[in-house]
């Protein structure tokens, strides 16, 4: 393997330590920003579905505020958003560069997208099941956790996978403007130094990560869907 890398990607081998650090930085940005974006996006998605007109907890004021915030930040290109959030990022974490300075912009970039994805997934839940649960005395929390979130698990896994793949792209863009990671490594040691093997290696790594995420998401979504279908058929029989 060592000889193959030295032959196929000599420049990558030369900067292998920096590459590994860059990959580690990308992974750190991904999981930290991903966890925060997952929690906030899921919350906002539930709020939009619950408070919309004729929702289970209709509150048009809350709906309009959340909807407007999501629309505003979703319409801003991520590179512009990075620059726009520099003062806030410095005020919150003390720096606007490196991994530490990238988390906040990544969250702002991923949350609006994931919120819309969650909203679509939850909106697809059968209204009949919601009404049946409500007629049996389920309150707002019961409807959200026992009906909406439970019934939408396969779709939520799919949209979470899509968002995770999108977040990989955002971390690469963040790296291009000083956050470090694979994007920064590809530009500084690949493009700027005219080392195509480094650029090619970074592309291949990102493709493999994307493929693995998509495959894992499809597998989990398929298993949860089949399990839910089995339970429904068992109940009917």
What is the C-alpha to C-alpha distance for residues 186 and 205, in angstroms, rounded to an integer? 11
Which residues, other chains included, contact 144 with Cβ-Cβ below 8 Å and sequence gap of 6+? 46, 50, 56
The tens place of each residue's pLDDT in the chain, 237 residues long, gives 677 777 878 888 889 899 999 999 999 999 999 999 999 999 999 999 999 998 899 999 999 999 999 999 999 999 899 889 989 999 998 888 888 889 999 999 999 999 999 999 999 998 888 988 888 888 889 999 989 999 999 999 999 999 999 999 999 888 766 778 898 899 889 888 889 999 999 999 999 999 999 999 999 998 887 776 545 555 455
Angle, in degrees to the nearest 10, between helices 86-93 and 98-123: 110
pLDDT value, residue 4: 73
Strands (E), the chain: none
- Tell me how far CA of residue 167 lies from CA of 7, 14, 134, in angstroms: 32, 29, 37
Helix (H, G, I), strand (E, B), or coil: what is residue 149? helix
Reported as half-sphere exposure (CB side, CA atoms, 13 A), residue 47 has a value of 19
Q: Of all helices (H) and strands (E), which one includes residue 79?
A: helix 78-84
CATH code for residues 2-236: 1.10.3720.10
Which residues, other chains included, contact 155 with Cβ-Cβ below 8 Å and sequence gap of 6+? 120, 121, 124, 221
- Cβ–Cβ under 8 Å, residues 185 and 19: yes
What is the C-alpha to C-alpha distance for residues 63 and 53, in angstroms, rounded to an integer? 9
Helix (H, G, I), strand (E, B), or coil: what is residue 32? helix
94-130 exposure pattern, b = at least 16 Cβ within 10 A, e = fewer: eebeebbbbbbbbbbbbbbbbbbbbbebbbebeeeeb
pTM of the model: 0.91
């Amino acid at each position: 393997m060592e000889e193959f890398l030295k032959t196929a990607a000599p420049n990558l081998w030369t900067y292998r330590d920096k590459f590994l650090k860059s990959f580690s930085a990308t992974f750190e940005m991904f999981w930290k920003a991903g966890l925060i974006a997952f929690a906030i996006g899921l919350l906002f998605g539930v709020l939009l579905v619950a408070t919309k007109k004729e929702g289970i907890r209709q509150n048009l004021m809350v709906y309009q505020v959340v909807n407007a915030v999501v629309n505003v930040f979703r319409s801003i290109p991520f590179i512009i958003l990075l620059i726009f959030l520099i003062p806030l990022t410095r005020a919150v974490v003390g720096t606007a560069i490196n991994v530490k300075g990238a988390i906040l912009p990544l969250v702002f970039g991923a949350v609006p997208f994931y919120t819309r994805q969650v909203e679509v997934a939850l909106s697809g839940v059968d209204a009949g099941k919601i009404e049946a649960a409500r007629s049996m005395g389920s309150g707002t929390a019961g409807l959200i956790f026992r009906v909406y979130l439970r019934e939408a698990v396969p779709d939520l896994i799919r949209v979470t996978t899509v968002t995770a793949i999108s977040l990989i792209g955002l971390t690469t863009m963040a790296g291009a403007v000083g956050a470090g990671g694979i994007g920064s490594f590809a530009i500084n040691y690949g493009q700027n130094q005219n080392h195509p093997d480094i650029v090619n290696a970074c592309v291949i790594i990102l493709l493999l990560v994307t493929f693995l995420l998509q495959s894992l998401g499809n597998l989990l979504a398929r298993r949860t869907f089949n399990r839910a279908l089995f339970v429904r058929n068992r109940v009917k029989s």
